[in-house]
Structure 1
Amino acid sequence: MVAQADAAVFRPVRTGNPFEETVERLLQAIKLGVVGPGERLPAERDLAARLNVSRVTLREAIHALTEAGYVESRRGRYGGTFVNEQLPAPRRTPARKLARDLGAGLDDALILRAVLETGAAEAAADRRLSRAERDHLQRCLDENAAASLADYRRLDSRLHLAIAELTGSPSLLSCTADVRMRLNELLDAIPLLERNIEHSNDQHAAIVAAILSGDAASARQAMQEHLSGTAALLRAFLA
């Protein structure tokens, strides 16, 4: 886990629905790759404090995710709650039903994503990055490029979050994580196309190269082109 993305998803829940929102936060961390398969969630006491929920509520949420197949609890010196190596397949909502339910939500999600992520790419390229930050971004790129179809969505999300992390803005990172969850619900309703994945990987490489070279204008343009391709596919299948 990376500290900034970790903080973005494990932020305090609101008071109205603590159990439901705790489940949402934990699932967000898992589905966006902030805590990967086989990795351990933060310690219970620490996680409950960060989410601002009781340990009873946290345990109930973890129990629900255990029954759903996302995590397992281990006892002993090296115990804790770990993300399962094999995660449940996403439930795919039929594209036509999702399109009917969305209404104007598709354009809303795509516009918000475009504003956030093109700005994030530009801001990341403008920053003077540390060696650790540069290595982390390159590692996320390499892992995404080598991902299987089953892991592609999670590692793609992780790469986009890594770019948002590099802006140094926790608020932007939190917003990016939230809109990415909305986007993944849409993407799960359409097929993964190998040609599109190849094209996306090339675009990812161009975005990362621009960020690492400090070329803010090129980073913004490369991200815009990438997001436009995703938007075109979504509109083709859903609009």
Structure 2
Amino acid sequence: MAALKLVKWPKILLFGDSITQFCFSAEGCWGTLLADHFQRRADIVSRGFSGYNTRQSLALLPHLATDLKDAVGATIFLGANDASDIANTQQTVPLQEYVQNLKDIVVYFQKAGIDPILISPPALDGQSWHNSCMESGRVYLKDEKITATYARACSEAAEEIKVPCIDFHTAMINQDNWQGLLCDGLHLSRRGSELLAALLVPVLEKHLKERVPSQQLFPPWDEIDNNDPSSSFVEWCNKN
């Protein structure tokens, strides 16, 4: 009996901090929206790590070898934690190191055969995040101007190394009532998630058009021989 031809299911890896970690939540649902768009064409795999900066994320990558297998594309969404006041010694990363870390993360993915896309840190609503910190007993260690500087540096780094980039910071502040794109001044609301997904989908489609099938994998239900479905799947696999 001839061996069955197996279909390789591509993966798109979402790599980042808490905004990625909660990308399947009710508010931060941009990962869910991507998964819906790419259903039966690619798996969306979220690997978000709350509180991580680029220094920590770069050191983490070798431990994610299994996640990188069969991944064809990746989003890199880091910088909101790097862009902290220097008093936040656990998270802040100097601007030049942040840029170099982004470049090194991109190279790491590329060497693994993965096409990456950068996403700049989102805009920060300092007053709302300050209020949130007060309510939770945390110290406010963010700054809107620092965040804007890191976002701009992310876009410039992407241009320099010639990888696609979503300038999410600029896209946000160009929206009416952009503060409503955030649920607490730092993390995305549902509206913010919808904006990010809308920006990402066309970029991912273009960037990965040779690596993600344009049609859903496996035949539509009404093209399957209900009396002999196994033969229908074998025939489809041999054609694709």
Instruction: Give the structure with the larger helix fraction.
Output: 1
TM-score (norm 1): 0.31
Bigger Rg, structure 1 or 2: 2
Instruction: Give the structure with the larger strand fraction.
Output: 2
TM-score (norm 2): 0.31
